[in-house]
Amino acid sequence: MVKLIGSPIVIIAIIIVLMVSFSFFFLTESEEFGPVFIQEPDDVIFPLDSDEKKVVMHCEARGNPPPTYSWYINGTEVDAEADYRYSFIDGNLIITNASEVTDYGKYQCKAENSFGTVLSRDGTLQFAYLGAFSGKARGGVSVREGQGVVLMCTPPPHSPGKKIIYSWVFNEFPSFVAEDSRRFISQDTGNLYISKVQPSDVGSYICLVKNTVTNARVLSPPTPLTLKTDGVMGEYEPKIEVHFPTSVLAAKGVTVRLECFALGNPVPTITWRKINGNIPKKARLRKSQAVLEIPNIQLEDSGTYECKAENPRGGTAFKGHLQVYTLPQWVRMINDTQMDSGEKLQWECKATGRPRPTYRWLRNGLPLTSQGRMEIVNGELSIHKVQQADSGMYQCVAENKYGAVYSNFLIPVLIFLFFLSCRIMLLRNNTLRIVNASRADEGNYVCRAENQLGSAELTAILSFVLPEAMRVELTPARVEVTVGESVVLSCKATHDTSLDVAFQWFFNQKPINFQQDGGHFEYIQTSSTVDLMIRSILLKHAGKYGCRAQTSADTVFTEAELLVRGPPGPPGVVIVEEITDTTATLSWTRGLDNHSPISTYNVQARSPFSLGWQTVKTDPDPVTGDMESAIAVELNPWVEYEFRVVATNAIGTGDPSAPSRAVRTKEAVPSVAPANVSGGNGRRHELVISWEPVSEEFQNGEGFGYIVAFRANGTRGWKEKMVTSADSTTYKYRDETFPPLTPFEVKVGVYNNKGDGPFSSVVVIHSAEGEPREAPSDVRAYSISSSEIRVTWKGYEVLQILCLCVCVDQEESGKKQRTVKNETSMVLTGLEGNSLYRITVKAFNSIGHGPATAAVTAKTRKTPPAQPPANLIWIQEGNNVSLSWDPVKAKDNESDVIGYMVSSLPFTAVTLAHFCTYIIEVRALSEGGDGAVSSQIRLVTSSGTHKATDF
């Protein structure tokens, strides 16, 4: 019996003294396995002008024992010792001072341990760069008006692929050439094509090239474009100058752009069709139909596509075949297999792809061929009578000309046969080695030897005590939550209870600082468990959370993944691809969906006339989450817009994209007529017409003005007058021939350089009035008081009246007073007492005054007495108070006294209420008005008691 405590390796030595051949078991611990890639090299595009001068090619594999790594560049092994520019960190290859000359190519990682070797897929390293244009001046191009022209970009050296964007600057930066049905910029060649040159095209053209990886951009020397003076180019049939290749290869899932543009006069129209089929519904026509764009290309989209260019002079067409290819993908893969010695192994791996993949086999990174016991037919591998020498890591490689996929699996041969001759010789010691032994390995071990004469057995018993290794369980291992929710990650350690355990939490490999997290993280620990609570989760909290448990004997680290669902991130910047008078064709790139699929996009626009960003109508409507383009519709012509896009998913609406560059819609005929057309007033023989001006937002183009149309009621022809100022609100028409208040039908329209727009509805407006021709009749005047005379008249009920009075006695200047409409009397005020006035009356309106009436006279009455009542005496008689005073005597020039007013009441006895205060005063009354007021008496009453005070 063998009994060991605390040993990770158990060695059992068994000596057999028999003249026989024998076999023994070679046992492997179940946790050991060959290398398996968890990260393989990706294709990398490295900017040559990057501040970071290092390129990292990633590779990581799992395995027990841990694998070692080596790298191959274009099939040659990297020697890090011979070239200081290469270094290894874990499985990653670091390249310092990378250059396109020495480092461009395919990279492959090799991982190996005691079980064998595996090769990764290839990762291609490319370099992004953009050279400078030659500074040499470019010659000018001269063409006739109406002729087509091609301006060559001839871009400088640049990185290959679709990482370059072309545009053209007209005259000066940043005035860009706008693409339309007449002008086109090829994103394949960079050339600018103008199908029919116009005088407005004359100027200087500069090609701008931008690298989308490095964001570098360079400008070419200018190319002058001039017009010849020897005539104008006549009409001619289209000639296709830009077209896609006759054979187009595209990977499944990408977006395909087919270009087609023609020169011609008149400007040709481009149409597309698919031979023997229909153009996919998902396809989009862009740049005035010069580009057919097919997103997410699939096998069924393959076929022959035709573009046709036509104008009234003829037509021409071009055809090309689109072929979709797919990289190999596994349909059937083999897992690790345990084989007994002598068994037959038969494996088949199968992959799909277009073209159909071919297969090859590797063992420990080296090619396998059919020989001896091994047979390879396409994707099938057969090994007859498996032996120990067949153990190792096997890989099946499926490949076509567009790529390759690798599968890998392990063959451990569990039974190996050893034959020894034992005649008259000492037998060698035979050792059974168990690595990382555990309680599961306890038991009886039998060594058996046999030959043709018989057999023998020896039994050994293994029994030991091992401290159980610490285990850490982190739950849940993977969890999805929504922004704003909370979650708890629980880390539990199973360990030797005699040892203390310490925990630490990590986020994306970095320790969590619980004091600087903004209150989102909380740490809760018991003896063998620690919980991490994450409150009010934000998108930035998504990632890997690690728990490290540590005792004096062991350290274990495990991770869980937290996915955070939230509103989408902002889409990529919006590109305006085509602009018309009322539409803008927009495209953008998809932003992060934050683990909740984008359902819709909302397109917003901003103009100088809008209150911030406003949602605009689109085609299609709605814009679904699988789209990356739309057409904004129902825009106003000749308005400068910026556009942005907002994504929405089931969680909510995310942040908007960056705005597009500001673009102005094309001009169009005005579509909005002036509002509130009215008029009237003015001078004699004038027709005054007014309206509310049309806002600049709806003027739709340059040269905006108004058309004023009018005609006298009952006539047929309209008189039209142009008002060229966009800010005008009034037009006056004068004609001595039409009488005052003639009714006219009036309407006001709009126009600009594009043409005439609509008119307002017709309204009736009267011409100006004439001045009154007659004087009012039956004018009368009579005195009311010493300072007032009332004047009355007849006639002119709708006119205003001007009344003029002159004091004859004192020869004062005339006093004038006006009425409002429909009055036939007025009171002249502020006159002198006991004076004679001569009064005339005139009718008037906005045009002028009519004739005056014959003068009438009226004399104001004498002034009221100036002496107030004196010696007021009051006497109480029960509930009454009696007053008395000295009478007032009028002078010769004063009106006679006809009575008195006591506290505005003509009584000498007043009944007073209890608990009140009264102010009593007395004045004389006369025909000339009220006389002077007496001194006041103040009475304060209580229950039956009265007190009086003079003041």
| Assigned token pair, 569 | 């991130």
pLDDT at 810: 59
Span between the terminal Cα atoms of the chain, in Å: 139
Measured distance CA(416)–CA(404) in Å, rounded: 35
Measured distance CA(617)–CA(632) in Å, rounded: 6
pLDDT at 912: 62
Summarize the chain as % helix, strand, coil (round to 5).
Answer: 0, 50, 45
Nearest to 300 by CA among 326, 329, 332, 328: 326
| Residue keyed to tokens 């104001």 | 860
pLDDT at 416: 35
pLDDT at 737: 83
| Assigned token pair, 557 | 């680290």
Residues in the chain where the model's pLDDT stays below 50: 1-30, 414-422, 424-429, 466, 904-909, 944-946, 951
Domains, in order of start, for the chain: 33-128 (2.60.40.10), 333-414 (2.60.40.10), 471-565 (2.60.40.10), 575-665 (2.60.40.10), 675-767 (2.60.40.10), 777-859 (2.60.40.10), 870-942 (2.60.40.10)
Full DSSP string of 350-402: EEEEESPPEEEEEETTEE---BTTEEEETTEEEESS--GGG-EEEEEEEEETT
The answer to whether the CB of 548 falls within 8 A of the CB of 634 is no
How many Cβ atoms sit within 10 Å of the Cβ of residue 632? Answer: 23
Measured distance CA(76)–CA(910) in Å, rounded: 132
Nearest to 711 by CA among 750, 742, 662, 744: 744
pLDDT at 949: 52
CA dihedral 305, 309, 315, 318 (to 10 degrees): -30
Measured distance CA(218)–CA(131) in Å, rounded: 8
How many Cβ atoms sit within 10 Å of the Cβ of residue 164? Answer: 19
Measured distance CA(911)–CA(518) in Å, rounded: 85
pLDDT at 455: 67
Full DSSP string of 795-842: S-TTSEEEEEEEETTTTPPPEEEE--TT--EEEE-SPPTT-EEEEEEE
The 8-class DSSP code of residue 942 comes to -
| Residue keyed to tokens 């149309």 | 709
pLDDT at 910: 53
Nearest to 506 by CA among 469, 466, 557, 568: 557
| Assigned token pair, 492 | 């539990």
Measured distance CA(854)–CA(859) in Å, rounded: 17
Residue 363's identity, in one-letter code, is R
How many Cβ atoms sit within 10 Å of the Cβ of residue 810? Answer: 9
pLDDT at 22: 30
The 8-class DSSP code of residue 671 comes to -
Peptide bond just before 674 cis, omega within 30 deg = no
CA distances from 802 to 788, 805, 835, 852 (A): 17, 10, 21, 9
Full DSSP string of 467-512: PPPPEEEEESSEEEEETT--EEEEEEEE--TTS--EEEEEETTEE-
pLDDT at 19: 28
Nearest to 19 by CA among 476, 595, 426: 426
| Assigned token pair, 370 | 């059919």
Cross-strand partners of 898 = none
Measured distance CA(511)–CA(546) in Å, rounded: 9
Q: Residue 731 in 3-state DSSP?
A: strand
| Assigned token pair, 312 | 């009234």
Length of the chain: 951
CA distances from 217 to 143, 178, 211, 432 (A): 30, 19, 6, 69
Residue 905 CB partners (closer than 8 Å, separation 6+): none
Residue 539's identity, in one-letter code, is L
pLDDT at 435: 62
Measured distance CA(108)–CA(71) in Å, rounded: 6
Give the DSSP H/E element, type plus range, for residue 102.
Answer: helix 100-103
| Assigned token pair, 195 | 């199908």
